Amino acid sequence: MGLIGILLSLFLLMYLAYRGINVLVLAPILALMAVLLAGGMPLLATYTQVFMKALGNYLTTYFPLFLLGAIFGKVMADNGSARAISEWIVAKLGPEHAIMAIVLACGILTYGGVSLFVVAFAVYPISVSLFRRADVPKRLIPGAIALGSFTFTMTALPGTPAIQNAIPMPFFGTTPFAAPILGTLAGLIMFGGGVWWLRLRPRPP
């Protein structure tokens, strides 16, 4: 019953999110539903003794990382460094490689520790101008930014400063550069496959 509750909650989350309902509202309700369907778990005791304790430990452990990352991203945005790096990459590759230029710009910035939200706002205006010059549909801009910001640099490349790389380190006793060969191969597959797919989208079927 517990597995059914989890699968049902995930299905409803995806379905209702695509229907336009706010995920911030949906997620807690559906998570609660999954717990209730699991059965045998006292709701209040689980919330106060398990969830809140784990949440407190998580915040005390990773809040400094979040705080310093946010400050670094704010500094990069305010002094124009993020935009300057993006414009330099775009100028080097040119409009004929518009999609790859945007993906690389986002990837270099996020791999350097800049918040993906800062990257998105810094790169979007450049993307609009570049895609217009290259005659690439504007609808592909979110995909190009997403590919560069939170795929291979967030979850694959060794040494990434992303929280997804930092969280498992104390549990597995690893370093930020653990599994460098597998991580690099996975990053190249994500980057190459994503750019290949995006470059096919403007073409007529």
- pLDDT digits over 10-35, tens only? 898 888 888 888 777 788 788 877 87
List phi, psi (to 5°) of 80.
80, 5
- Residue 171, helix vs strand vs coil: helix
Radius of gyration of the chain (CA): 20
Predicted model pTM: 0.67
- Write the pLDDT tens digit of every residue in 176-191: 999 999 999 999 999 9
What value does the mean pLDDT of the chain take? 83
Spatial separation of the C-alpha atoms in residues 58 and 56, rounded to whole Å: 5
Q: How many residues does the chain have?
A: 205
Question: Distance between CA 99 and CA 199 in Å, rounded?
Answer: 7
Q: Is the pLDDT of residue 202 over 60?
A: yes
Q: Enumerate residues 6+ apart whose C-beta is below 8 A from 57.
A: none
Distance CA 7, CA 17 (A): 15
Closest Cα to residue 31, out of 18, 41, 168, 59? 41
CA-closest candidate to residue 104, choices 137, 77, 132, 130? 130
pLDDT exceeds 60 at position 205? no
Among 61-65, 174-178, 193-197, the least confident range: 61-65
The confidence score (pLDDT) of residue 124 equals 86
Q: Are 25 and 46 in contact (CB under 8 A)?
A: no
The full set of domain ranges for the chain reads: 65-200
pLDDT in tens, 72-101: 777 877 888 777 887 888 788 878 888 999
Give the pLDDT score at 104. Answer: 92
> Is the per-residue pLDDT at 199 higher than 60?
yes
| 9 pLDDT higher than 80 | yes
Would you state the structure tokens that stand for residue 81, as one six-digit string? 């460094």
